[in-house]
Amino acid sequence: MGNNWRKSKMRKLIAFVFVFMVVVSGLVIAQDNGATDEQVAPSFNVCCEKTVSGAWCQNTNQDQCDEGFRSSPTSCAATSFCEAGVCIDSEEGICAKNTPKKVCELTTGTWVEGDEEIPQCSLGCCLIGDQSSFVTLTRCKRLSNIYGLETNFRTDVTDEAQCVLLAFATDKGACVFETDGGRECRFTTRQECSGSESSDLGGNVTGQGEFFRDYLCSADELATNCGPTRETTCVDGKDEVYFVDSCGNLANIYDANRIYSNDPGYWQKVVPKGDSCNSEDPNIESDSCGNCDYLGGSICGEGRARYGDNFCRDLNCYDVQNGEDYRNGESWCEYMGEQGNGKDGVGSRQFRHVCIQGEEVIEPCADFRNEVCIEQKHGPEFGDFIEAACRVNRWTECIDQFTEEDCLNEDKRDCFWVQGLHYDGSASNTEVQNLADQEDEASKNRGVLEGGHICLPANPPGLEFWDNGNAKEVCSFGNSKQVVEFKTDIFGKKKCKENCEVLETGWVDTMNKACVSMGDCGAHVNFLGVKTDGGIVWKQDGKRKSIQTGLFENFAGDEYVEVTSEEIEEGSYEEFEEVNEEDTTVFEESDGGEDEKVFNQ
């Protein structure tokens, strides 16, 4: 990569110089009329901004100047339009000294007067990954941007040779020292080898360490005191199991089929991970291959192998709380019963589970369902990897949404769309206002009413029901006051006259569904699966009535049992009303020929 950068840089510089040389050539050709130096003496009397041959900023005769450009009877160095300076190509980070101003402008560069050292044109060593290039700071920034890396510009490096050496500083290999006890060796980097302390080698070191790139200390041709073994080790920061030599240096990845007696070449030079045993497999608990893969679910750990005491330890999770198996790093959601579409149980909470190196870790989302757990399965190209996260429950704006598109906009809120109901508190909405205008007794009907649509929280929030909590305020949004008018005929039989649909098709169940979707309100099931009706109060003729078990029996998710007006009149289905614990429900009869039945939720 470093050579390519230098070539690219040279191509740009060569191209720039080439333009200038053409200019000079144009000058020479213009003066050449076949005469010798003794026959004709040059007489340059003007500076041409451009010559007829296309050259720029030349000292020549007047008749050689292009009439469409400027000329001056003086040296070009003394003119403003041909004054020489430094031309900076900010995009590519290239600086060219002694460049005429006009030529720089033609190349869309930035011209700077004089030839003094400019900071952005000072050279230094640009380090990118394991490559280097001796360029300007501006050029280094450009190269770093191309490869998506941070700029690492070394101003303390003053020549290209030092810069090139820095690129190889991280090379690994055998560092061999001559001592009075023989040839000692350490497997390390080139940089550490050149500046390493040799006091730990023992004996007297007779020379500086010699570095052999990509060689192992056990290589026969290095003739060191280090030889092959059948021992293995784990290394911090690495996934794999490694052989070690007799000096304790790392060798190649453990492969039981490539001990020295089977494959001496495996102990000579470094073998890349991709060329080691079973490189496409995590080799979980394999006794013969230590080519572990953390992303695949394995890492070096203690365990029985054919040679040594380490193998690829299994990091995956099996038979977790939900009975499933998960890979290392996967995360998933767990819920306390049903959730979504207003079905979260009273007091329930959501949890994120993570598999971390074979252990199932449980992370609760925020209490009161202030957070909800979401999960996503990435496609086959990622191995159907599952990832989950706790996210803020965005329920507060649901009831103020008037269109299905706004209600179900998952980028902004967590709601679901219900047909057949609307909320009269949203009278600013045209649809809701029209429904209110159609009701003869609109002033008597309040809260959640029949008709239209309503947007409700998908995951109702938990509520503070103690002291001065928010339970009463939030649950009150689910209240419904309904007026039903009856007319008595000449035979004394009552017959429904107005708002009769309130008495039919499971209206009470529908109202309860809206109520429980507001929060921990209404008649619902708590997180232990126990049915609770503390959120409903019924009164008839000012007297509180007990709740029928039929409410829970009829309320079954999105399906409801239909109840006819005849069943109500016969007494087989009792009228009742749902209210907040603190509210009053009224059932009253008028003194005239009509009865009014008021239902509050």
What would the 3-class secondary structure string for 339-394 be? CCCCCCCECCCEEEEEEECCEEEEEECCCCCCEEEEEEECCHHHCCCEEEEEEECC
Does one domain contain both 584 and 475? Answer: yes
pLDDT of residue 276: 97
Q: Residue 199's pLDDT band (boundaries 50, 70, 90)?
A: very low
d(CA 399, CA 27) in angstroms, rounded, equals: 83
Task: Name the DSSP letter for residue 427.
Answer: T
Strand ordering across the sheet containing 210-213: 182-189, 172-179, 210-213
pLDDT of residue 438: 52
Q: What tokens appear for 66 in the block?
A: 């292009």
Does one domain contain both 568 and 426? Answer: yes
Q: Which of 116, 90, 91, 86 is nearest to 104 (CA)?
A: 86
- Residue 214 covered by a domain: no
- Contacts for 207 with CB less than 8 Å, ≥ 6 apart: 177, 178
454-513 pLDDT per residue, tens:
999 999 998 887 777 778 888 888 777 777 777 887 888 888 887 777 766 567 777 778
- Residue 465 covered by a domain: yes
Half-sphere exposure of 265 (CA within 13 A, CB side): 1
The domain in which residue 353 lies consists of 331-392
- Contacts for 68 with CB less than 8 Å, ≥ 6 apart: 50
Task: Name the DSSP letter for residue 548.
Answer: P
- The mean of the pLDDT values for the chain is 77
135-173 pLDDT per residue, tens:
888 788 888 888 888 888 888 888 887 887 777 877 899
The continuous run of DSSP H or E covering 5 comes out as: helix 2-31
Lowest average pLDDT, out of 25-34, 130-139, 226-235, goes to: 25-34
Task: Assign 581 to helix, strand or coil.
Answer: coil
Task: Assign 238 to helix, strand or coil.
Answer: coil
In one letter, which amino acid is 467?
D
Does one domain contain both 373 and 476? Answer: no
pLDDT of residue 249: 96
Check: CB of residue 295 under 8 Å from CB of residue 273. Answer: no
- Residue 578 covered by a domain: yes
Does one domain contain both 385 and 437? Answer: no
- Contacts for 346 with CB less than 8 Å, ≥ 6 apart: 462, 520, 524, 525, 526, 527, 532
Q: What tokens appear for 164 in the block?
A: 């090139």
Q: Residue 44's pLDDT band (boundaries 50, 70, 90)?
A: low
Does one domain contain both 416 and 386? Answer: no
pLDDT of residue 590: 30
- Residue 109 covered by a domain: yes
d(CA 30, CA 41) in angstroms, rounded, equals: 14
Does one domain contain both 339 and 484? Answer: no
Does one domain contain both 379 and 416? Answer: no
pLDDT of residue 216: 97
- Residue 251 covered by a domain: no
Q: Residue 335's pLDDT band (boundaries 50, 70, 90)?
A: very high
Q: Residue 195's pLDDT band (boundaries 50, 70, 90)?
A: low
Does one domain contain both 384 and 508? Answer: no
pLDDT of residue 441: 46
Give the distance, in angstroms, between the CA of residue 499 and the centroid of all CA atoms in the same chain: 54
Task: Examine the pLDDT at 329 and tell me if it is beyond 70.
Answer: yes
Domain boundary residue, one of 68, 90, 121: 121
Q: Residue 104's pLDDT band (boundaries 50, 70, 90)?
A: confident
Does one domain contain both 361 and 505? Answer: no
Q: Averaging pLDDT over each range in 301-305, 441-445, 551-555, 556-560, which range is the top one?
A: 301-305
- Residue 132 covered by a domain: no
Half-sphere exposure of 301 (CA within 13 A, CB side): 15
Exposed (0-12), middle (13-18) or buried (19+): which is 548, by Cβ within 10 Å?
middle
pLDDT of residue 534: 67
Mean pLDDT of 572-600: 35
- Residue 155 covered by a domain: no
The count of domains in the chain is 3
Q: Residue 6's pLDDT band (boundaries 50, 70, 90)?
A: very low
Domain boundary residue, one of 121, 140, 161: 121
- Contacts for 177 with CB less than 8 Å, ≥ 6 apart: 183, 184, 185, 186, 198, 201, 205, 207, 208, 209, 210
Domain boundary residue, one of 121, 149, 178: 121
Tell which wins on pLDDT, 45 or 92: 45
d(CA 311, CA 330) in angstroms, rounded, equals: 23
Does one domain contain both 355 and 433? Answer: no
177-191 pLDDT per residue, tens:
888 778 899 999 988
Q: How many CB atoms lie within 10 A of CB 367?
A: 11
Q: How many helices (H) and strands (E) does the chain have?
A: 11, 31
Q: How many CB atoms lie within 10 A of CB 385?
A: 17
d(CA 3, CA 395) in angstroms, rounded, equals: 59
d(CA 163, CA 166) in angstroms, rounded, equals: 5
pTM of this structure: 0.59
Task: Assign 463 to helix, strand or coil.
Answer: coil
Pair type for strands 153-154 and 123-128: antiparallel
- Residue 101 covered by a domain: yes
Q: Averaging pLDDT over each range in 156-160, 300-304, 376-380, which range is the top one?
A: 300-304
pLDDT of residue 504: 64
Does one domain contain both 75 and 54? Answer: yes
Lowest average pLDDT, out of 237-241, 302-306, 493-497, goes to: 493-497
Does one domain contain both 439 and 549? Answer: yes
pLDDT of residue 99: 81
